[in-house]
């Protein structure tokens, strides 16, 4: 049985003692008992009016025993790390890592030894779970090049064999546009033959092709904004445009789990950065209020402007930003909002317009709409959309427009064709079907995993599905066992996650058929039993009730 | 005994109290009351005033007016209205509807519309599609990426190479991967914007030396040495780097690499070289500035270049010893946190490398053409040629500035526009004036490619000459 999109039945939680907020309490959470429910209703009613749809987001607490065992695990690994470093130092164990040139031995060492301790002793043991090279389209199934290591992952040898037809649960191919056939590929091929692959100049000099202008018009109409600008790299879209928007004397309020590119952009801007708790609106409001009331530290001048940086879907948590509340706060405190839709554009909302569409909000309420073409559109690059004044300013002041080579024409064509397909401009309903398929796949997959008893983070509509592993040894074991069963998954640990919250992450795709998902689920179930990963006790705690301490830290760049 | 004495004192006191005059008692009483009041009243009233009431806070919030998100841009801002190129930006280019010969794109080797490159990219497109849908770590590593890294390392004769999906992000990510807060970077004043951003992200101490002035660099290194002797403990953990460009984007000059290497060993500072313009241009086989000077490539700690100029693809790479380069696979931000390079672009770069390896003569041809136009452009009244004779990208600056940058830019733009009308596509070198550390003077950047014929080079030179004369005189 598959739940239809928007269907009510699937919102019912699994588990004997769970109860769910009904239609009246729109911002509902799953709760452990009726008694606890009474104490939490204020969250539900407080913000409920802003949401036009149920917002079910849960983060089950880490079981105490698991947390203790995880720390013990890291403790053992660290002890062994020191032991082996000791053995390496006395040359009892063979050193595999590259060393400094003899001629430069008396230079100040390039790395701090501690920096590499983690890499050498923890990461190296399970390195085979990352950077697995593939040799096919990153579609629903993928061919992986087989590799072996004879020196405990210090080096890899390719056997020349390929593992064919591995189920791909790792690529960000949300709408299934990573394809080597079909209209997108044909259009891209045509443009490639006409234009070549490169541009050899920047937008402001002589690298502004008619194709780029066409793309930007389309992006603006897709997003429902006045104008848009496209850039050659998603990461650089953030890191090279935030400095154009804010500077010294401005304040950036950034979610603690924001992507590295947002953090880098914020740092390069020279503005003061304050961090609020992940998706925690009380924390954000407190920072906003304090910022306006107290102004800049030391100089006591009022802030020039305040920019809130949030993401649509957080790629490691699977959570969706509480956009209606963020917009309400931003309006109340006259701040500006920068929304990074890297993972949500195309993947959320009834028409695939991202998180704004998902909540049924007005795109004009978001000052800077940023997103990437890498994921849902199966291409590369990023964009910024917004008011015409904003885009005009960026056209003249964006670092990217002045100093970086513009987008490759065949890549542009892929984006144009994919976007037209999503908008239904190609005369088919293919795009719409893909969006629906993804939404259905997401709900089905998440529901089944919860039923199996795994701890799953995030919003029930988010196609990014983190499954908690916790213990360091299970990171490697899960990745390897799944590959043995022909399922490619992404596993992540420290430093991408908090040290005890290692997890596996599945990214759903419209290209996944029910058979593929069922096979993957069967294997996950099996490995879950094997590795004892079914931690869930069905006590789901809403995010707002996670401990909220008022300490925030601040950093100022000069 | 003691108690008797105390009693006596007490009696005396009571007696004194009776004998004291009334005014005295009243005065003392008032004094006592005042002391009590002082004791019980709050000491600092200031504190009380600084606590804002909720209502005051609301008023402050109500009052606060932020600056607009972006300042308004005038309609005639010189950088607002881009040239529009219709069709491919290759040798013959259509700019704003005018057919021109391209003297503006960095397509040095003419590989942009090379049929072999296109065929290789097309084959890759048919196999892999366009995007990679993931960073290198998470199923975004394709066999083509490994091939390209391998080929680049072999071509440059280094142990390892690492590719980035964006040229700008290459050096901008590589520098902060090594240089951290507290480290010292010696950098040329003319360094390009990507280097400046990399340095800013690294938060290291930056010491600028005069462009290509080795004496000035040595002075700074010496100063640092003296500083180090004062605090040897700190010096032991302070890394030192010299960052230079092979061929400077902003000046068209070559760095004095042999001297840099000498200073490197003398003062124990590592060298990072940005070779975006010199890779595929300088040297007998196009290996860049190390080959040009015959320097052992292992003496350079890290070489970074983009694949967007000579290779006419997209992206960038770093190469050097594994000990250095491998570190970026976990610490290069633009590598770890960004989607990998679309395989068709990697395939195009591989094919471009093949062509470079098969026709080493191409680099001599390019040099010949550079020298020819360089010579032809000498002696234009009002314009001076800035840059070396063998640099395929050099600058034309005003001989005499009008003292206003805005006016200079307008004059140069007029020259560019008129050249464009006469079939020569040129562009001004664009900068973010407020962001550049040392803003270069305005200039027209002329780019030479192997596709330009002798007649075209002559025509370009004479056109520029004529136009400059009409505009500037």
Residue by residue, DSSP assigns B80-138 as: TS---EES--SSEEEETTEEEEESSS--TT--TT-HHHHHHHHHHHHHH-S---SBIII
Give A179's contacts in chain B (Cβ within 8 Å). Answer: 129
Write the residue in B168, B265, B312 that is nearest to A198 by C-beta: B312
* Strand duo B316-320 + B160-164: pairing: antiparallel
Give A98's contacts in chain B (Cβ within 8 Å). Answer: 159, 321-323, 326
Q: Are A25 and A49 in contact (CB under 8 A)?
A: no
Contact B193 A188 (CB under 8 A): no
Interatomic CA distance for residues A480 and A417, integer angstroms: 37
pLDDT of residue A119: 86
Interatomic CA distance for residues A92 and A109, integer angstroms: 23
Contact B121 A194 (CB under 8 A): no
Res. B269: pLDDT tops 70 = yes
Provide, rounded to the nearest whole percent, the portion of chain B with pLDDT above 90.
84
Mean pLDDT of B421-433: 95
Write the residue in A198, A233, A394 that is nearest to B338 by C-beta: A233
Write the residue in A200, A374, A402 that is nearest to B112 by C-beta: A200
| Residue A114 touches chain B, beta carbons under 8 Å | no
Write the residue in B60, B133, B166 that is nearest to A233 by C-beta: B166
Residue of B54, B92, B120, B138 to mutate, interface with A, max A Cβ within 10 Å: B138
Interhelix angle A260-269/A234-245, rounded to 10 degrees, is 30
- The CATH topology of domain B79-111+360-472 is 3.90.1150
| Residue A405 touches chain B, beta carbons under 8 Å | yes
Q: Are A486 and A166 in contact (CB under 8 A)?
A: yes
* pLDDT band at residue B417 using 50, 70 and 90 as cut-offs: very high
Q: In chain A, what are the domain boundaries?
A: 183-423
Exposure of A425 by Cβ count < 10 A (0-12 exposed, 13-18 middle, 19+ buried)?
A: middle
Write the residue in A197, A209, A293 that is nearest to B60 by C-beta: A293
Mean pLDDT of B115-143: 95
Contact A235 B333 (CB under 8 A): yes
Residue of B110, B129, B163 to mutate, interface with A, max A Cβ within 10 Å: B129
Per-residue pLDDT of chain A (558 residues; tens, 9 = 90+): 333 333 333 333 333 333 333 333 333 333 333 333 333 433 444 455 778 778 888 788 888 999 999 999 999 999 999 999 899 888 888 877 788 888 888 899 888 776 688 888 889 899 999 999 999 999 999 999 999 999 888 889 999 999 999 999 999 999 999 999 999 999 999 999 999 999 999 999 999 999 999 999 999 999 999 999 999 999 999 999 999 999 999 999 999 999 999 999 999 999 999 999 999 999 999 999 999 999 999 898 999 999 999 999 999 999 999 999 999 999 999 999 999 999 999 999 999 999 999 999 999 999 999 999 999 999 999 999 999 999 999 999 999 999 999 999 999 999 999 999 999 999 999 999 999 999 999 999 999 999 899 999 999 999 999 999 999 999 999 999 999 999 999 999 888 888 889 999 999 999 999 999 999 999 999 999 999 999 988 754 444 444 444 444 444 433
Interatomic CA distance for residues A372 and A340, integer angstroms: 8
**The domain B130-358: what is its CATH number?**
3.40.640.10
Give A314's contacts in chain B (Cβ within 8 Å). Answer: none
Helix (H) or strand (E) holding A255: strand A251-255
Contact B337 A261 (CB under 8 A): yes
Write the residue in A193, A210, A379 that is nearest to B118 by C-beta: A193
pLDDT of residue B45: 58
Query: In sequence order, what are the beta bridge partners of B305?
Result: B317
Interatomic CA distance for residues A431 and A435, integer angstroms: 6
Four-point Cα dihedral A46, A48, A51, A54, nearest 10: 140
Give B71's contacts in chain A (Cβ within 8 Å). Answer: 393
pLDDT of residue A26: 34
Cβ neighbours of A394 (radius 10 Å): 25
Nearest chain B alpha carbon to A197: B313
Contact A410 B238 (CB under 8 A): no
Q: What is the pLDDT of residues B351-370, one digit of tens each?
A: 999 999 999 999 999 999 99
- Angstroms from A198 CA to nearest CA on chain B: 4
B273: helix, strand or coil? strand
Q: What is the pLDDT of residues B111-127, one digit of tens each?
A: 999 999 999 999 999 99
Give A410's contacts in chain B (Cβ within 8 Å). Answer: 121, 125, 130, 344
Contact A198 B308 (CB under 8 A): yes
- Angstroms from B374 CA to nearest CA on chain A: 21
Q: Are B68 and A335 in contact (CB under 8 A)?
A: no
- Angstroms from A31 CA to nearest CA on chain B: 34
Write the residue in A234, A293, A335 that is nearest to B338 by C-beta: A234
- Angstroms from A37 CA to nearest CA on chain B: 31
Q: State pTM to two decimals.
A: 0.88
Contact A260 B93 (CB under 8 A): no
What contacts A474, CB < 8 A, 6 or more positions away?
A502, A531, A533
Interatomic CA distance for residues A526 and A481, integer angstroms: 10
> What CA–CA distances, in Å, run from B99 to A292, A366, A442, B428?
55, 41, 52, 18
Residue of A142, A155, A203, A206 to mutate, interface with B, max B Cβ within 10 Å: A206
Contact A197 B344 (CB under 8 A): yes
- CA-wise closest residue to B337 among A414, A23, A13, A495: A495
Interatomic CA distance for residues B283 and B367, integer angstroms: 10
pLDDT of residue A554: 45
Fill in the DSSP letter of residue A57: E
How much helix, strand and coil, in percent to the nearest 5, is found in chain B? Answer: 50, 15, 35
Write the residue in A172, A393, A404 that is nearest to B70 by C-beta: A393
Entry field: residues in chain B: 473
Contact A209 B69 (CB under 8 A): no
Res. B147: pLDDT tops 70 = yes
**The domain A183-423: what is its CATH number?**
3.40.640.10
Q: What is the pLDDT of residues B171-193, one digit of tens each?
A: 999 999 999 999 999 999 999 99
Contact B60 A200 (CB under 8 A): no
Instruction: Tokens for B69, please give them.
Output: 């998100």
Res. B270: pLDDT tops 70 = yes
CB under 8 A, 24+ apart: contacts of B144-152: B144/B343, B144/B346, B144/B347, B144/B350, B145/A133, B145/B340, B145/B341, B145/B343, B145/B346, B146/A133, B147/B346, B147/B350, B148/B317, B148/B346, B148/B349, B148/B350, B149/B317, B151/B350, B151/B353, B152/B317, B152/B319, B152/B353
Q: In chain B, what are the domain boundaries?
A: 79-111+360-472, 130-358
Q: Are B321 and B303 in contact (CB under 8 A)?
A: no
> What CA–CA distances, in Å, run from A140 to A136, A255, A348, A491, A510?
11, 32, 19, 18, 9
Contact A98 B79 (CB under 8 A): no
Write the residue in A201, A235, A408 that is nearest to B104 by C-beta: A201
Write the residue in A205, A207, A245 that is nearest to B70 by C-beta: A245
| Residue A379 touches chain B, beta carbons under 8 Å | yes
Give A123's contacts in chain B (Cβ within 8 Å). Answer: 330
Give B306's contacts in chain A (Cβ within 8 Å). Answer: 405
Cβ neighbours of B76 (radius 10 Å): 7
- Phi-psi region at A386: left, alpha or beta (left = phi > 0; alpha = psi -120 to 50): left
Write the residue in B106, B142, B166 that is nearest to A236 by C-beta: B166
Nearest chain A alpha carbon to B89: A199
Write the residue in B169, B313, B428 that is nearest to A198 by C-beta: B313
Complex prediction ipTM: 0.88
Interatomic CA distance for residues B101 and B368, integer angstroms: 19
| Residue A68 touches chain B, beta carbons under 8 Å | no
How big is the A-B interface in CB pairs under 8 Å? 356
Q: Which of residues 1-30 of A touch B (CB under 8 A)?
A: none
Q: Which of residues 180-219 of A touch B (CB under 8 A)?
A: 180, 184-185, 188-189, 192-210, 213
Task: Return phi, psi of residue B354, to 5°.
Answer: -55, -45
* Strand duo A336-340 + A306-311: pairing: parallel
Contact B141 A189 (CB under 8 A): no
- Angstroms from A49 CA to nearest CA on chain B: 23
Residue of B89, B133, B201, B320 to mutate, interface with A, max A Cβ within 10 Å: B133
| Residue A93 touches chain B, beta carbons under 8 Å | no
Res. B128: pLDDT tops 70 = yes
Question: Does residue A495 have a cis bond before it (omega within 30 degrees)?
Answer: yes
| Residue A342 touches chain B, beta carbons under 8 Å | no
Interatomic CA distance for residues B168 and A239, integer angstroms: 11
What contacts B167, CB < 8 A, 6 or more positions away?
A404, A405, B194, B276, B306, B307, B308, B314, B315, B316
Per the prediction, chain B carries an average pLDDT of 92
- CA-wise closest residue to B385 among B193, B209, B253: B253
Give B192's contacts in chain A (Cβ within 8 Å). Answer: 403
Helix (H) or strand (E) holding A555: strand A554-555
């Amino acid at each position: 049985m598959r739940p239809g999109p928007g269907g009510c039945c699937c919102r019912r939680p699994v588990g004997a003692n769970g109860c769910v907020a009904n239609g009246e309490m729109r911002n509902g959470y799953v709760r452990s008992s009726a008694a606890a429910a009474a104490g939490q209703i204020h969250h539900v009613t407080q913000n409920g009016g802003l949401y036009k749809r149920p917002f079910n987001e849960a983060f089950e607490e880490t079981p105490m025993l698991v947390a203790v065992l995880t720390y013990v695990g890291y403790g053992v690994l660290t002890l062994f790390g020191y032991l082996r470093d000791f053995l390496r130092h006395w040359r009892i164990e063979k050193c595999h890592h590259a060393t400094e040139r003899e001629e430069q031995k008396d230079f100040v060492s390039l790395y701090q030894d501690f920096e590499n301790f983690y890499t050498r002793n923890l990461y190296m043991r399970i390195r085979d779970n990352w950077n697995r090279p593939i040799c096919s389209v990153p579609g629903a199934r993928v061919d992986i090049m087989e590799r072996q290591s004879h020196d405990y992952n210090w080096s890899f040898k390719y056997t020349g064999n390929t593992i064919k037809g591995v189920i791909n649960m790792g690529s960000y191919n949300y709408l299934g546009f990573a394809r080597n056939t079909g209209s997108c590929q044909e259009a891209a091929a045509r443009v490639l033959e006409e234009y070549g692959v490169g541009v050899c100049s920047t937008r402001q000099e002589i690298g502004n092709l008619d194709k780029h202008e066409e793309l930007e018009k389309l992006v603006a109409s897709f997003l429902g904004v006045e104008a848009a600008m496209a850039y050659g790299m998603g990461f650089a879209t953030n890191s090279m445009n935030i400095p154009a928007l804010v500077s010294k004397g401005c304040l950036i309020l950034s979610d603690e789990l924001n992507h590295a590119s947002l953090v880098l952009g914020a740092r390069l801007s020279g503005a003061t950065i304050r961090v609020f708790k992940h998706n925690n609106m009380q924390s954000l409001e407190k920072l906003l209020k304090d910022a306006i009331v107290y102004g800049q530290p030391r100089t006591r001048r009022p802030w020039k402007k305040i920019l809130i940086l949030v993401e649509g879907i957080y790629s490691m948590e699977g959570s969706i930003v509480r956009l209606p509340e963020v917009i309400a706060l931003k309006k109340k405190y006259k701040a500006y909002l920068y929304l990074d839709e890297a993972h949500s554009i195309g993947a959320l909302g009834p028409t695939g317009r991202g998180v704004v569409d998902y909540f049924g909000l007005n795109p004009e309420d978001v000052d800077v709409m940023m997103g990437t073409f890498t994921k849902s559109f199966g291409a590369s690059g990023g964009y910024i959309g917004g008011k015409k004044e904003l885009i005009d300013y960026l056209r003249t002041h964006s670092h990217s427009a002045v100093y970086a080579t513009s987008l490759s024409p065949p890549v542009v064509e892929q984006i144009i064709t994919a976007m037209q397909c999503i908008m239904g401009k190609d005369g088919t309903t293919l795009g719409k079907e893909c969006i629906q398929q993804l939404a259905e796949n997401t709900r089905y997959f998440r529901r089944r995993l919860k039923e199996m008893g795994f701890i799953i983070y995030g919003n029930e509509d988010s196609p990014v599905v983190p499954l908690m592993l916790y213990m360091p040894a299970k990171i490697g074991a899960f990745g390897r066992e799944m590959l043995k069963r022909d399922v490619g998954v992404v596993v992540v640990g420290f430093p991408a996650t908090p040290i005890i919250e290692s997890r596996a992450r599945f990214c759903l795709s419209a290209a996944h058929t029910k058979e593929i998902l069922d096979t993957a689920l069967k294997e996950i179930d099996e490995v879950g039993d094997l590795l004892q990963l079914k931690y869930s006790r069905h006590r789901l705690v809403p995010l707002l009730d996670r401990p909220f301490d008022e300490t925030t830290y601040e950093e100022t760049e000069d | 005994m003691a108690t008797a004495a105390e009693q006596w004192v007490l009696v005396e006191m009571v007696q004194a109290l009776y004998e004291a005059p009334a005014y005295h008692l009243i005065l003392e009483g008032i004094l006592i009351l005042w002391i009590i009041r002082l004791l019980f009243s709050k000491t600092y009233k200031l504190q009380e005033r600084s606590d804002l009431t909720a209502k005051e806070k609301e008023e402050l919030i109500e009052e606060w007016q932020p600056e607009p998100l972006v300042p308004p841009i005038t309609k005639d801002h010189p950088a607002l209205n881009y040239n529009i190129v219709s069709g491919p930006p290759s040798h013959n280019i259509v700019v704003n509807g005018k057919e021109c010969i391209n003297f503006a794109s960095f397509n040095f080797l003419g590989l942009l519309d090379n049929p072999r490159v296109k065929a290789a990219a097309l084959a890759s497109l048919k196999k892999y599609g366009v995007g990679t849908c993931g960073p290198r770590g998470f199923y975004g590593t394709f066999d083509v990426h490994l091939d390209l890294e391998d080929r680049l390392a072999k071509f440059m004769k280094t142990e390892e190479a690492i590719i980035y999906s964006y040229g700008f992000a290459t050096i901008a990510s590589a520098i902060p991967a090594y240089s951290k807060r507290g480290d010292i970077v010696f950098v040329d004043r003319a360094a390009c914007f990507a280097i400046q951003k990399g340095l800013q992200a690294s938060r290291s101490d930056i010491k600028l030396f005069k462009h290509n002035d080795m004496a000035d660099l040595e002075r700074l290194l010496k100063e640092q040495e003296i500083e180090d002797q004062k605090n040897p403990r700190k010096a032991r953990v302070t890394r030192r780097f010299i960052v230079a460009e092979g061929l400077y984007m902003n000046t068209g000059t070559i760095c004095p690499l042999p001297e840099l290497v000498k200073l490197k060993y003398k003062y124990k500072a590592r060298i990072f070289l940005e070779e975006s313009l010199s890779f595929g241009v300088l040297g007998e086989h196009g290996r860049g500035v190390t080959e040009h000077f015959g320097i052992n490539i292992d003496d350079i700690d890290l070489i970074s270049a983009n694949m967007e100029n000579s290779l006419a693809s997209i992206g960038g790479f770093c190469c050097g010893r594994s000990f250095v380069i491998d570190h970026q696979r976990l610490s290069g931000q633009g590598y770890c946190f960004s989607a990998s390079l679309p395989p068709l672009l990697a395939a195009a770069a591989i094919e471009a490398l093949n062509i470079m390896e098969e026709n080493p003569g191409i680099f001599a041809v390019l040099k010949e053409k550079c020298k020819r136009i360089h010579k032809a452009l000498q002696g234009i009244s009002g314009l001076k040629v800035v840059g070396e004779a063998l640099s395929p990208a050099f600058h034309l600056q005003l001989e005499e500035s009008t003292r206003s940058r805005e006016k200079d830019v307008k004059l140069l733009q007029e020259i560019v526009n008129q050249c464009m009308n006469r079939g020569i596509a040129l562009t001004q070198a664009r900068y973010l004036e407020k962001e550049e550390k040392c803003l270069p003077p305005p200039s027209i950047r002329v780019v030479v490619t192997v596709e330009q014929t002798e007649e075209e080079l002559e025509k370009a030179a004479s056109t520029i000459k004529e136009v400059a004369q009409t505009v500037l005189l």
